[in-house]
Amino acid sequence: MIGIVMTGIKDVMGLIQTSDGRKLILHKITLRSKGLKQLKHYNRESKEYFSGFVERFVDDLCSQISSDRNPVKTHHKFIREVGFPQLKLEEHEIWTLKSELSNTSDIRLMVCDITDTDFIKQTLYIFIGLFDGAERYYQRQTAPDVKEAIIDGHVAAISLSELMDRIIDEERDPSILRKYKFLNPYILEVGRKKICKGGKSILNSFEEGFKNALRGQHEDAELAKTPRFITYEKMERSYAGKYRAIMGTAASNMALNKGPIARMYYLGMGKAAEAGGCRNEIMDSRKDRKLKFPSWPALYAHEIGDIRKAFALTHEKGRLYLEEAKKIARKLPADLPIKPFIEELFYVFGHAIDFEYKRLLEENLFADFEKQLKTLIQ
């Protein structure tokens, strides 16, 4: 999934290399620094919040697992709901794993592994900022335990999405993947129970977003199995589920899924997430020295037969997604307290996309990507 990180923001030389990076430097040394101050404030707040979230996540999972008298039924129900047979465990494996993961220390190790990602950690400070901004704008005061539950529940749901991607892509040792498969239904249940504390509207919004996210993951999985049949329309459906549905829905629920702010959160953060997806496809290809598939670079290369131009188009695609997000941000009410935070955040995203693309050009891995593409679509 997407990694919403502040790549290079502390590296002045890195910032100088991109247009949005230079704007961030200018904002820092002029009166237009309110957004950066807010960004740093919520980043600090999220670091304090994170350790408490992990402990709550561990306790909730332990409670769900220990109280489940029929884990086989729980597992099969989850598989039917998500529709991914590759997540399925055999009955004897389920009972063995329930016994193995029966104490807090084992669950804590798994939770720390699951949540130790930039995507989860950096998404957390965005959620805190969005929630705070909507509360102040509407002059309401949601009970602290309800606010905590809404944020916790959406972060738990995002961790499930990350986990399912790891399993489907076989990104871990098989013994670890078996534990992931066992935890999946309990993570979903924890997320749901937390989110429902926010009320029916928020829960319904989450359920609809979850269904759309599953559609995106299924589209992604099908494309991975049949690379030759990748199309623009299929990639758009994949992104709409994997990025827009997940991040947009969560952002909307940070405004309690009410009023125009919730809708603008959905549209703006959804488009920003899609921009982050393009950035991640460029970054992952560079880091792994391997063409990511399915991805926009793979699609464009398949369509036009030029891998270098394919990455240029992916970079442009990411910038277009982000420009849509910026346009929406500019339409936010002037008196929305965190409008500077959101605008500054999008400059950070823009810098990250441009920075990764420049690094890819410098490393010039296109000949390797060309060979991989021929193998994928032959």
Asked, for residue 1, whether it belongs to a domain, the answer is no
Dihedral angle at the C-alpha atoms of 261, 264, 265, 271, nearest 10 degrees?
180
Q: Is residue 5 part of a domain?
A: no
- Is 361 a member of any domain? yes
CATH number for the domain that contains residue 22:
1.10.600.10
Give the pLDDT confidence of 257-293 residue by residue, as tens digits: 999 999 999 999 999 999 999 999 999 999 999 988 8
Handedness of CA 118, 124, 127, 129 (dihedral sign): negative
Q: Give pLDDT tens digits for 222-233.
A: 888 888 888 999
Residue 198 domain-assigned (yes or no) = yes
Number of domains observed in the structure of the chain: 1
pLDDT, tens digit (0-9, with 9 covering 90-100), for 205-222: 999 999 999 999 999 888
- Determine the structural domain holding residue 92 and report its residue range: 12-377
Is 312 inside any structural domain?
yes
* Residue 6 falls inside a structural domain: no
Across 206-210, 238-242, 348-352, 374-378, least confident range: 374-378
Which pLDDT does position 69 carry in this prediction? 94
What amino acid occupies position 75? Answer: H
Supply the pTM of this predicted model: 0.90
Please check whether residue 233 lies inside any domain of the structure: yes
CA distance 83 to 87: 9
Residue 271 lies in a domain: yes
- Its sign, for the CA torsion 357, 2, 46, 340, is positive
